[in-house]
């Protein structure tokens, strides 16, 4: 008899003494698995593949039983023994080839473990698959019958759920409508996808160029312009401390001269407003993630001047805000699609906030990940002493968007406690 409770005999029925002794010695609340061994079933596609025994025992203080008393059965409570689940798992986790349920006698008993249930092959796997579906089975609603083939498809094929949705779309939509958090989940899934695209645009030069070529964008700035127009929440929630919304729901870029943003004049890449009962205008210029932040060569030892397009972008934003403020005086009246003034819908231009989105901080890192401290110091001192605009790099904007999505994901998994008086 082996002294190691994790090392069982290779024979499937095994030694009754070993089976009983090991089951009696295992701790409830733990899962045990044996050393790997070759699966020995001639004729099986898994024959010879690595397998393991998996065990778990549990103890009940008492169990119910039926006792015949004359012509009636009486329910009686008797001291319960120990029970053990035993499985054979082959190749992949969750691929069960055989399953046993044992009744384990007490250590004081001379009896051997008794097999209460033994399922083999597909029967064992069917039981496991059925148990997996319980996590997704609603407890209310009408009765339903799900074909076993559908369950197998969903468990084995990640794309099967999508095919099932196409075939039974109404049922899925009904389930979603009954879930108060479903809308949040769907919105979050889209935002997570957009953050992934943001990552690719920023980190994969080939992908960025292919997107620009497909849209026939002559300027790389246009790629980012279209991306942010499709995802207004990124600029709206990530740029400032206030919630920002686009001045025009259909287009971020606007002309800002004269008394109307629709007149001829200076353009800004993103014209937005703060949210609230009283709104203020917000301007943003969007360069590209490839725009250098500092000149290639240092100006003096340890000092690096801002690159041409960084300082030029700052001057561009300052000029745009200045001209817009002169043209609009103190506030801008919003108009409906037909040109009619919207009632009490104004945005004020009292020293409006402005942003310049440009470059990446990775410019200050070596290929090995080391930091160039003089360059970092030069850039940070330059932008922190700017009164306007606020300079934000693309990777900083991505980090904020990533954090926003991750925070919502965490709230969906474990909703925060509700504030109460």
Higher pLDDT, 247 or 289: 289
pLDDT category at 358 given cuts 50, 70, 90 is: very high
Q: Which of 67-81, 168-182, 293-307 has the highest mean pLDDT?
A: 293-307
pLDDT category at 126 given cuts 50, 70, 90 is: confident
Ramachandran angles phi, psi of 246, nearest 5°: -65, 140
* pLDDT value at residue 314: 94
Higher pLDDT, 106 or 97: 97
Q: What is the mean pLDDT of residues 289-307?
A: 93
Q: How many CB atoms lie within 10 A of CB 137?
A: 9
DSSP state of 251: B
Ramachandran angles phi, psi of 375, nearest 5°: -70, -40
pLDDT category at 404 given cuts 50, 70, 90 is: confident
Higher pLDDT, 230 or 91: 230
* pLDDT value at residue 353: 83
Q: How many CB atoms lie within 10 A of CB 97?
A: 22
Residue 250 has pLDDT above 80, yes or no: no
* pLDDT value at residue 238: 63
C-alpha 275/C-alpha 347 separation (Å) is: 10
Residue 259 has pLDDT above 50, yes or no: no
Q: What is the pTM of this model?
A: 0.52
* pLDDT value at residue 256: 45
List, in order, residues 6 or more apart from 299 with CB less than 8 Å away. 305
List, in order, residues 6 or more apart from 386 with CB less than 8 Å away. 314
C-alpha 208/C-alpha 205 separation (Å) is: 5
Q: Do 253 and 225 form a contact (C-beta atoms < 8 A)?
A: yes
* pLDDT value at residue 164: 66
Quick one: what percent of the chain has pLDDT higher than 70?
Answer: 60
pLDDT category at 294 given cuts 50, 70, 90 is: very high
Q: Which of 37-41, 186-190, 248-252, 329-333 has the highest mean pLDDT?
A: 37-41
Nearest Cα residue to 203 out of 7, 398, 410:
398
* pLDDT value at residue 254: 47
Higher pLDDT, 339 or 2: 339
List, in order, residues 6 or more apart from 314 with CB less than 8 Å away. 306, 356, 386, 389, 391
Nearest Cα residue to 21 out of 122, 89, 106:
106
Peptide bond into 389 cis (omega under 30): yes
List, in order, residues 6 or more apart from 345 with CB less than 8 Å away. 333, 334
Q: Which of 83-97, 160-174, 186-200 has the highest mean pLDDT?
A: 186-200
* pLDDT value at residue 10: 44
CB neighbour class for 287 (10 Å; exposed up to 12, middle 13-18, buried from 19):
buried
Q: How is 89-136 classified by DSSP, letter by letter?
A: EESSTT-EEEEEEEEEPPTT--PPPEEEEEEETHHHHHHHHHHHHGGG
Nearest Cα residue to 273 out of 242, 313, 307, 297:
242
Beta bridge pairs of residue 195: none
Q: What is the mean pLDDT of residues 325-349?
A: 65
């Amino acid at each position: 008899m082996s002294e190691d409770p994790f090392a069982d005999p290779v024979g499937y029925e095994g030694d009754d003494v070993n089976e009983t002794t090991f089951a009696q010695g295992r701790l409830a609340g733990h899962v045990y698995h044996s050393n790997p061994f070759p699966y020995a079933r001639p004729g099986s596609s898994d024959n010879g593949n690595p397998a393991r025994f998996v065990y778990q025992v549990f103890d009940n203080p008492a169990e119910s039983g039926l006792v015949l008393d004359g012509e009636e059965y009486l329910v009686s409570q008797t001291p319960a023994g120990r029970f053990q689940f035993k499985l054979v798992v082959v190749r992949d986790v969750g691929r069960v080839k055989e399953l046993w349920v044992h009744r384990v006698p007490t250590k004081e008993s001379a009896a051997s473990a008794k097999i209460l249930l033994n399922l083999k092959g597909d029967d064992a796997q069917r039981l496991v698959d059925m148990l997996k579906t319980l996590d997704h089975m609603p407890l209310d609603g009408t009765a339903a019958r799900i074909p076993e083939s559908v369950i197998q498809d969903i468990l084995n094929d990640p794309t099967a759920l999508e095919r099932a949705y196409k075939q039974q779309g109404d049922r899925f939509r009904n389930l979603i409508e009954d879930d108060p958090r479903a809308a949040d989940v769907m919105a979050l899934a889209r935002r997570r996808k957009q953050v992934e695209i943001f990552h690719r645009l920023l980190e994969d030069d080939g992908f960025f160029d292919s997107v620009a070529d497909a849209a026939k964008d002559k300027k790389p700035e246009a790629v980012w312009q279209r991306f942010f127009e499709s995802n207004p929440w990124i600029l709206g929630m990530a740029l400032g401390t206030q919630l920002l919304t686009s001045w025009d729901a259909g287009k971020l870029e606007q002309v800002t001269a004269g008394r109307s943003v629709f007149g001829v004049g200076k353009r800004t890449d993103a014209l937005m407003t703060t949210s609230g009962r009283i709104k203020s205008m917000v301007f943003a210029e969007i360069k590209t993630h490839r725009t250098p932040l500092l000149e290639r060569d240092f100006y003096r030892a340890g000092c690096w001047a801002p690159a041409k397009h960084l300082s030029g972008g700052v001057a561009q934003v300052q000029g745009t805000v200045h001209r817009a403020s002169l043209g609009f005086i103190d506030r801008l009246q919003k108009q409906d699609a037909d040109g009619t003034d919207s009632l009490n819908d104004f945005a004020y231009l009292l020293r409006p906030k402005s942003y310049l989105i440009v470059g990446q901080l990775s410019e200050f890192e070596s290929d090995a990940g080391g930091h160039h401290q003089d360059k970092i110091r030069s850039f940070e001192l330059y932008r922190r002493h700017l009164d306007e605009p606020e300079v934000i790099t693309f990777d900083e904007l991505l980090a904020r968007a990533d954090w926003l999505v991750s925070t919502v994901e965490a709230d969906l998994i474990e909703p925060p406690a509700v504030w109460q008086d």
